[in-house]
Amino acid sequence: MNDFIQNKVIPFAQKIENNFILSAISGAFMKVMPALLGGAVFSLFQGLPLGDWYTNFLSSTGISDALAVGVAVCNLTALYFIFALGYNLGEKFNVNPFQTAIVSLLSLLLVTPFSYNNVDNTNGAVTLIKNVIPVDNLGASGIFTAMLCGIIGAYVFAFAVNHNWKIKLPDSVPEMVSKPFEAVVPAFLVSALFLLVRSGFAVTSYGNIQNFIYTMVQAPLVSLGNSFPAMLISMLILLLLWWVGIHGTSVVLSVMMVIWMEPAITNLNNYMAGEPVTLVTTYMFFFVFCQFIGGPGCLFGLTCDMAIFAKSERFKAFGKVCFVPGMFNIVEPVIFGFPIVLNPIMFIPFILTPLVFMIIGYLLMVTGVVNIPALMLSVMTIPGPIAGFILGGGISLGIMIVIMCLLSCIIYYPFFKICDNQALEAEKKSNQEKTLEENKI
């Protein structure tokens, strides 16, 4: 495995790192880490499973509403991401990075659909129209759209600037006044382009580009049925979407929930009536492997490896920050900050670990070695080892999840060490260069 990674995976990773578009995307994910970590902390406090007294305390004091606002604002991932991506691409294209970031953000907002709310005034005689931008389109589910808008918008802006398509003011005008004017024409071209895109999709059955992207992604999922092969394919799609920066869980569950919920309810009714629970491929079966072993990718092992075995300063610090959220299945900091997104080294364990665990779990449940989960939990932040014992599957299900959490540490370890060693070498090289500069001084 190490030879394969060293000879095949790492050279491929180096090619990706040398691609300026992909490096700009990866860097953008790193730059949105403060917002992601803030949302993780708010989610953690909001979902602590301490009982009704804790929930009532948060509600009665208004803390629950404040935490909800904090989570909602921090989860506007696409908004922060496209600004960071535009800034990075501005540097790559050798144009003003801040102006490029603003134009990239503008391009996303121009294609984001509005919702319209009717608001009557006090006498009921006049109806006012209020424009609202749905926050769902600016969250993790909108990252892929933001990625496309950011790249195209930044490229068009840089092309226009580099070809001197700009308003040139007299030399007597101060630079602080003339510089912003030079970006007017390029920004107008970007705005016109994305307004055309918005108008073009408005006359189609999709209505907007977001619906088009989701329809094209979700269409293959619609034909899937309630079977184990279908669940494996759904899990594979979920993981691939997360790997490219799309919130795969929401995409897959939004389509498959209708199919998987009916057998889950049947299991629940049988469990409450004291009858045998026999249906394996249900919503909760899928949820065990996409959430309760450290979230998508079964990332429990990676967060533990970082916290315990990291040698580089980068991953030592990152492991300390991500360990507690990771214990509660909050994966965004790791997926976007490690990053897992577009990381070819982590692609193998991220994709294969949940699929292998799902196959093992299915075989164990079909043969009766492990009990089938029957209770449905809406709280996704319950640690997997705890959730396993309260899902209605008894001790056997809890033990299985605990063992899989430990196995994920072993599976992720060799891949993590490659990334850790690369970071360590980069830090050593940086320290050596710093020492040489100090000696010269």
How far apart CA 12 and CA 421 sit, in angstroms, is 17
Extended strands (E) in 71-209: 115-120, 127-132
Q: What is the pLDDT of residues 144-177, one digit of tens each?
A: 788 889 999 999 999 998 888 877 766 666 666 6
| Sign (positive or negative) of CA dihedral 274, 278, 280, 283 | negative
Residue type, 143: I
Lookup: tokens for 112? 């984001």
How far apart CA 102 and CA 89 sit, in angstroms, is 12
The reported pLDDT for the residue numbered 218 is: 45
Position 420 pLDDT exceeds 50: yes
The reported pLDDT for the residue numbered 262 is: 66
Q: Which of 89-93, 120-124, 191-195, 418-422 has the lowest mean pLDDT?
A: 120-124
Position 422 pLDDT exceeds 70: yes
Instruction: Locate the domains of the chain by residue range.
Output: 78-224, 231-437
244 sits in which H/E element: none
Mean pLDDT, range 259-273, rounded to an integer: 72
- What DSSP string runs through 157-184? HHHHHHTT-S----TTS-HHHHHHHHTH
Lookup: tokens for 235? 């899990």
Q: What is the pLDDT of residues 323-359, one digit of tens each?
A: 888 888 888 888 888 888 888 889 999 999 999 999 9
pTM of structure: 0.60
| Closest by CA position to 162, among listed 90, 86, 107 | 90
Q: What is the pLDDT of residues 21-76, one digit of tens each?
A: 877 876 787 787 677 667 666 766 776 667 778 888 888 888 888 888 887 787 78
Confidence band of 223 (pLDDT split at 50, 70, 90): very low
Position 238 pLDDT exceeds 60: yes
Q: What is the pLDDT of residues 293-307, one digit of tens each?
A: 888 889 988 999 998
Q: CA angle, 286 as apex, 335 and 360 as ends, to 5°?
A: 95
Mean pLDDT, range 239-255, rounded to an integer: 76
Residue type, 389: F
Position 221 pLDDT exceeds 70: no
How far apart CA 299 and CA 325 sit, in angstroms, is 11
The reported pLDDT for the residue numbered 336 is: 83
Q: What's 272's DSSP letter? A: H
- What DSSP string runs through 16-69? HHH-HHHHHHHHHHHHTHHHHHHHHHHHHHHT----HHHHHHHHHHTHHHHHHH
How far apart CA 51 and CA 42 sit, in angstroms, is 18
Token pair 């095949």 is found at: 8
Please confirm whether the linkage preceding 229 is cis (ω < 30° from 0): no
How far apart CA 239 and CA 249 sit, in angstroms, is 8
Confidence band of 123 (pLDDT split at 50, 70, 90): low
How far apart CA 309 and CA 320 sit, in angstroms, is 11
Average predicted confidence (pLDDT) for the chain: 80
Lookup: tokens for 172? 């007597």
The reported pLDDT for the residue numbered 271 is: 75
Residues 76 and 139 sit within 8 Å (Cβ to Cβ)? yes
The reported pLDDT for the residue numbered 313 is: 86
Most confidently predicted of 63-72, 159-168, 279-288, 412-421: 412-421
12 sits in which H/E element: helix 10-18
The reported pLDDT for the residue numbered 391 is: 79
Residues 10 and 314 sit within 8 Å (Cβ to Cβ)? no
Residues 320 and 305 sit within 8 Å (Cβ to Cβ)? no
| Closest by CA position to 134, among listed 221, 203, 75, 199 | 75
User: Which is more confident, 323 or 378?
Assistant: 323
The reported pLDDT for the residue numbered 48 is: 66
Q: What's 119's DSSP letter? A: E
Give me the percent of the chain exceeding a pLDDT of 70: 78
Sequence-distant (6+) residues with CB within 8 A of 441 are: none
The reported pLDDT for the residue numbered 355 is: 94
